């Protein structure tokens, strides 16, 4: 087996959001220390500036927390317990924005400073009726490990606006991609509006007056300073990416089915098709070869770090059928995806046993 352990390409998230989960458990009388130890998270990590954990680990931790609380709607509590100060530089820039609409747009604009998911990024725009639509990207296929993420993000955005305004602000509509859950009533009660399931997007539809509603915490000078700081932080993150990493960032959200053509990817990374071809040639590779690398890396992470079926993984990576995915995986790594998942699962189970737990400050 020639698979190397590398940083997870599916994405990562600020360890602050693990602290939110821990706080939620403690409020319900559930000690968070054993839960943190199970996932090798130390209190030191939670207090470390800039610390992040992988998206798959975050999802496993959320699923485990739901099991401990026996509350399938716990994601709503995660969102409700997210404080203004939990959102880092992006939160500070948003808090000081002139209106509530501008605050939400700022928070979403700099989302990547606190979380990065290879599947896409959130957006915020006004529709033809002047309503603000805040959209959280798709993380389908949905399962018991990831539905809570949609709940916590959408609830967190609403809670952010409620904390800023000091009012029980309610959306006009909430749209959720996953199918009708057993806890539908909890969602309807929390958002206090119609919630539509099996939608084509995860989004909040907010009233038109959001952009005219003054933010009680507005501070124009601080807002300009913090937006500038966020832009510099974002540029620093992007400046460390080589051309292959930039292609990965552009391609991965569109990997399902046919990947985007080279011209579209070149435009998204700020160059021409000819310029991109030259940059790749200088590194001794080609666009087709890079697509194969991206597929292989994502395949490794999906098999190792998620519980998705191989049929779902094949679909996400644009393979015609599961058999084609199995052949490619064996070509890349010399082992079947089933054998690899089994071996890495056994390793993780051993690492998770109480006698072997050693909380670490690692953020992988």
Long-range contacts, 27-33 (Cβ 8 Å, 24+): 27/81, 28/69, 30/68, 30/69
Is residue 229 domain-shared with residue 281, that is, in the same domain?
no
Please report the pLDDT score of residue 1 as a whole number. 41
DSSP state of 201: S
Please report the pLDDT score of residue 242 as a whole number. 73
d(CA 190, CA 80): 10
Whether 341 maps to a domain, the answer reads: yes
**Helix H or strand E encompassing 195:** strand 194-196
Please report the pLDDT score of residue 4 as a whole number. 41
Structural domain span for residue 151: 75-234
> For the chain, what is the radius of gyration of the CA atoms?
21
Please report the pLDDT score of residue 343 as a whole number. 87
pTM of the entire predicted model: 0.82
The string of DSSP codes covering 141-179 is SP-TTTHHHHHHHHHHHHHHHHHHHTS----SEEE-SSP
pLDDT in tens, the chain (364 residues): 444 444 567 889 999 999 999 999 999 999 999 999 999 999 888 888 889 999 999 999 999 999 999 999 999 999 999 998 898 899 999 999 999 999 999 999 999 999 988 888 999 999 999 899 999 999 989 999 999 999 999 999 999 999 999 988 999 999 999 999 999 999 999 999 999 999 999 999 999 999 999 999 999 999 999 999 999 988 877 766 777 777 888 888 777 767 778 888 888 777 888 888 888 888 888 988 888 888 898 899 999 988 899 999 998 888 888 999 999 999 999 999 999 998 877 555 544 443 333 333 333 3
Please report the pLDDT score of residue 105 as a whole number. 97
Whether 267 maps to a domain, the answer reads: yes
Whether 22 maps to a domain, the answer reads: no
Please report the pLDDT score of residue 239 as a whole number. 67
Q: Which of 234, 254, 275 is the last residue of a domain?
A: 234
Is residue 227 domain-shared with residue 113, that is, in the same domain?
yes
Instruction: Please say whether the beta carbons of 301 and 56 come within 8 A.
Output: yes
Strands 202-206 and 173-175: antiparallel
d(CA 297, CA 319): 15
CATH number at residue 293: 1.10.10.60
Paired strand residues for 12: 54, 116
Is residue 195 domain-shared with residue 255, that is, in the same domain?
no
Please report the pLDDT score of residue 256 as a whole number. 72
Paired strand residues for 207: none
Structural domain count, the chain: 2
Question: Omega of the bond prior to 358 within 30 degrees of 0, cis?
Answer: no
Which among 25, 14, 88, 22 is positioned nearest to 54, based on CA atoms?
14
Is residue 220 domain-shared with residue 247, that is, in the same domain?
no
Please report the pLDDT score of residue 67 as a whole number. 97
240 Cα distance to chain centroid: 20
Is residue 85 domain-shared with residue 149, that is, in the same domain?
yes
Is residue 316 domain-shared with residue 342, that is, in the same domain?
yes
């Amino acid at each position: 087996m020639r698979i190397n352990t590398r940083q997870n390409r599916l994405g990562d998230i600020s360890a602050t959001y693990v602290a939110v989960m821990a706080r939620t458990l403690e409020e319900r009388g559930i000690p968070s220390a054993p839960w943190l130890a199970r996932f090798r998270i130390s209190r030191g990590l939670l207090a470390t500036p800039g610390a992040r954990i992988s998206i798959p680990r975050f999802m496993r931790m959320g699923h485990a927390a739901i099991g401990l609380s026996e509350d399938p709607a716990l994601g709503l509590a995660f969102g409700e317990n997210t404080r203004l100060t939990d959102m880092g530089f992006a939160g500070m820039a948003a808090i000081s924005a002139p209106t509530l609409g501008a605050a939400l747009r700022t928070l979403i604009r700099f989302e990547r400073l606190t979380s990065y998911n290879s599947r896409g990024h959130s957006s915020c725009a006004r529709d033809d009726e002047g309503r603000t639509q805040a959209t959280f990207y798709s993380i389908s296929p949905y399962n018991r490990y990831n539905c809570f993420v949609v709940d916590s993000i959408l609830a967190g955005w609403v809670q952010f606006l409620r904390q800023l305004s000091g009012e029980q602000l309610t959306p006009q509509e909430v749209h959720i991609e996953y199918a009708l859950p057993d806890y539908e009533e909890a969602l309807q009660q929390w958002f206090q509006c119609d919630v539509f399931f099996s939608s084509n997007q995860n989004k909040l539809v907010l009233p038109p007056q959001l952009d005219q509603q003054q933010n009680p915490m507005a501070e124009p000078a601080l807002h300009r300073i913090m937006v500038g700081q966020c832009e510099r932080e974002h540029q620093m993150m992007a400046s460390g990416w080589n051309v292959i990493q930039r292609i990965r960032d552009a391609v991965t959200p569109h990997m399902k089915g046919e990947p985007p053509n080279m011209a579209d990817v070149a435009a998204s990374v700020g160059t021409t098709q000819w310029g991109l071809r030259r940059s790749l040639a200088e590194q001794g590779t080609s666009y087709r070869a890079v697509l194969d690398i991206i597929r292989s890396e994502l395949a490794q992470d999906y098999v190792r770090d998620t519980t998705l079926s191989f049929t779902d993984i094949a679909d996400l990576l644009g393979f015609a059928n599961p058999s084609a995915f199995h052949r490619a995986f064996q070509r890349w790594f010399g082992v079947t995806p089933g054998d690899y998942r089994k071996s890495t699962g056994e390793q993780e189970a051993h690492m998770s046993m109480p006698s072997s737990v050693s909380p670490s400050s690692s953020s992988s």
